[in-house]
Structure 1
Amino acid sequence: MSEELSRTAKEVNTIVKDTKVQVKGGFGELRLDFILSKLNKDYIIIKDIIIPGSNKTTQIDSIVISIYGIFVIECKNFSGYIYGNDKDKVWTQIVGKTKNTFYNPVRQNYAHIKAIENVIGDKYNIYSIIVFSDKATLKNVTINGNNVIVRNENEILSTISEYKTITIDKEEIKIIRDKIFDCMKTTNQNTREHVRNLRNITEENKCPRCQIGHLIKRKGQYGEFWGCSQYPKCKYTRK
């Protein structure tokens, strides 16, 4: 019984940790929503959407559609020093004496953009914007792509406003918006369902927690389970 209670306690701790991460990320998205709400009526904002990806659903924090182009935004509510290159597989966060790695957000948002292009086509100017909290310092972040921008929250409005060349006419803006809305209608917009879909992956796919390792089949005291190849750095498991 004590072993079972211990296992239950570990599962509860894991759920609590995951919940804290989701809540923390949610605060960042709320701040981003408030910032984007200051854009004028020339910009259409679609936030927190789920659409089909290459082999699973993909969740996008915000899309801003305008006559000046389309901005696909990935929000990272991180603090500390941030290091990374757009070609790297992982980036680094340093908070005090603690060093963490996380999946390259440029790669992550690239997958979001490809999913959007599958819905609206690939003839439009689409810009990838990675937004970090103002508590983060972009210490050494190198970006070589022309349409990729990494900024802190307080720079987002000015960054979007820099684009003043009209590339999409107003009527086409409505068509793009409607295509995205139609796609959303055919895809479950429940975030929990999206997370469940991410967990429902095979061993070729990335670990849904660290986005670095791959799930491999292991044997434990209670039978077979899927575990991250990055263990013990990442302790994600599922039945």
Structure 2
Amino acid sequence: MIEQPEDREGFAAFLLRLRGRGIVPKNLIAAFEATPRRNFIPGHFHSLAWSDRMLPIECGEAMEGADLQAAVIAALNIEQGNRVLEIGTGSGYTAAVMARLAGRVFTIDRFKTLVENARQRIESIGINNVIVRQFDGAEGMHSEGPFDRIVIWSAFKELPRGFVDQLSMNGIMIAPIGPDEGEQTLAKLTKIGSRFEREDIGVVRFQPVARHLAAII
């Protein structure tokens, strides 16, 4: 849903960057185009909506750049009917995009404010297959599993083996793995039997996974 001229220009530049990186799935591009990105970011950052830079959102958190979001969702290879778990709702944008590809998306965050705002934004654009909850996702969401796809927007110090039981056979999880400070490796983990097959797909710099719900916000 690209309406403003600056959005059209930004989206065109975004597509050129994706094609340069070999990310061209038609269904993914259509899902991004159909999801009004400016609805999910503060007004004074609208001109940067389709940039590759992180943008501040509520609760002192940040929204990942469009290129990284696209690369992660492409790596998930979401198929129709898939059940997806997202840990780290943030603005709600990636949940909205994934909802156009999947059967159902569960997205969770430790901040009540982020959860409530994301729910409103997602509902306002007519998407009804996303469940948004305030939840401590450090150990996943056993009560709703198994999932076909899991994406985590915060870093683990080591391979999160506790998630293997929450993935369906041949399910895919994307998670950053590495130290709290500095860069982490973005890993694509595919469930094979009772173990993960790992493929490293990039380098990122995320906050470490936080435990427990936020007390106030």
TM class, shorter-chain normalised? under 0.3
Q: Which has the higher strand share?
A: 1
Greater length-normalized contact order (CA 8 Å, ≥ 6 residues apart): 1
Larger Rg: 1
TM-score, reference length from structure 2: 0.28
